[in-house]
Amino acid sequence: MSVATINFKTKPRIDFEPFPRISLCHQPTPIEEMPRLTAHLNGPKLFIKRDDCTGLATGGNKTRKLEFLMGDALRVDADMVVTQGAVQSNHVRQTAAAACRLGLDCHVLLERRVPDRDPAYEETGNVFLDKLFGVTYEFRPDGLDMNAEAEAVTERLRAQGRRPYFIPGGGSNAIGALGYASCAQEIADQCAETGQAFQWLVMGTGSSGTQAGLVAGFHVLGYDLPVMGVSVRQPHERQVTAVHATTEKTLEKLGGTSIEKEKILVDDGYVGEGYGLPAETTLEAIHLTARQEGILLDPVYSAKGMAGLIGLIRRGFFSPDDNVLFLHTGGSTSLFAYEDQILGSMG
């Protein structure tokens, strides 16, 4: 059954009532056309799901995950949250803001994952906002198992008498992924209301939870919308394995049936030299989207996702009459940490 012919009034809805949840997110976020970028690329009709507009601390995709993660933290009577991320982590910034909203402390581990950065990299952008939200933090060198490091710190704090709640990097576990199963429901509802059909959804994929939540949500709904994840860090097979594992755990929570690994779609051709290192295609995506649509992408996630979308169009991957939805995961705050590189690439 095609997307266009699904009658969502007779299809199952996802029941999120069993899961603790708090309201942090402006939703539904809009779906907007990108007519100038469409014309510039001479491609299929492009749309954008504005999850940069979720509202919490300049917005971003982690806010949806945090509704469920913070709900679970309150369920167990936590007095603080502990998480981890790269130095310019969007997840850390939104987690810190959510903790402020709920009166919880927030302790974070920041991984020096991106090499050869100016010292200001650890002071501006998301790090500046982390400090504004009052986080306590520790740095770690690149290459460690950061979730294991953060869990060890969680246990240290517990031994000191605190009631910490551990949130994995990116909020990417089955609880966090419920936020994007909810987004899948939201997209389906928006399509039902407007009559708009999409043939593809394209997004940047990193810690796995956002793509996994969408795939799980669409699978439970019977919504035939393939999700192409453009990897921002890991090679194809490793990313597919990670996303599939989180998808399966999320489906188990939702009471859904298992999904074949082949349903997890990843393009790893736009990683460049590594995580947080903008490739030429990343910088082009930032410039094009800003100049054609007045939309800001970040150099770590959303611009690599958009670079993938642009590359797929240029390779003729889509049919000319396809409607393609791009998920904007936010993160423009980190642009300030890359100012010299971005401005220096402008022709």
- How confident is the prediction for the chain on average, in pLDDT? 95
Q: Give me 198's structure tokens.
A: 């999409």
Q: Kindly report, residue by residue over 263-274, the tens digit of the pLDDT.
A: 999 999 999 999
Using CA atoms, how far residue 190 sits from 153, 183, 213, in Å, is: 42, 10, 17
For residues 70 and 346, is the Cβ–Cβ distance under 8 A?
A: no
Write down the pLDDT at residue 11. 63
Phi-psi region of 71 (alpha: psi -120 to 50; beta: other; left: phi over 0): alpha
The answer to whether residue 256 scores a pLDDT higher than 90 is yes
Residue 80: is it exposed, middle or buried by C-beta count within 10 angstroms (0-12/13-18/19+)? middle
SS3 at position 298: coil
What residues pair up with 186 in beta bridges, in sequence order? none
Handedness of CA 158, 25, 28, 45 (dihedral sign): negative
Q: Kindly report, residue by residue over 100-116, the tens digit of the pLDDT.
A: 999 999 999 999 999 99
Q: Kindly report, residue by residue over 14-29, the tens digit of the pLDDT.
A: 999 999 999 999 999 9
- Whole-model pTM: value is 0.96
Using CA atoms, how far residue 233 sits from 65, 185, 277, in Å, is: 20, 28, 10
Using CA atoms, how far residue 287 sits from 141, 173, 202, 300, 347, in Å, is: 31, 33, 19, 14, 10
Active site residue 258: no
The answer to whether residue 255 scores a pLDDT higher than 90 is yes
**% of the chain at pLDDT higher than 90:** 95
Q: Kindly report, residue by residue over 127-177, the tens digit of the pLDDT.
A: 999 999 999 999 999 999 999 999 999 999 999 999 999 999 999 999 999
List 89, 172, 182, 334, catalytic entry: 89
For 7-48, the DSSP string reads -TTTS-----TTS--------SPPEEE-HHHHHHHT-SEEEE
Average pLDDT for 54-71 = 98
What residues pair up with 35 in beta bridges, in sequence order? none
Write down the pLDDT at residue 12. 73
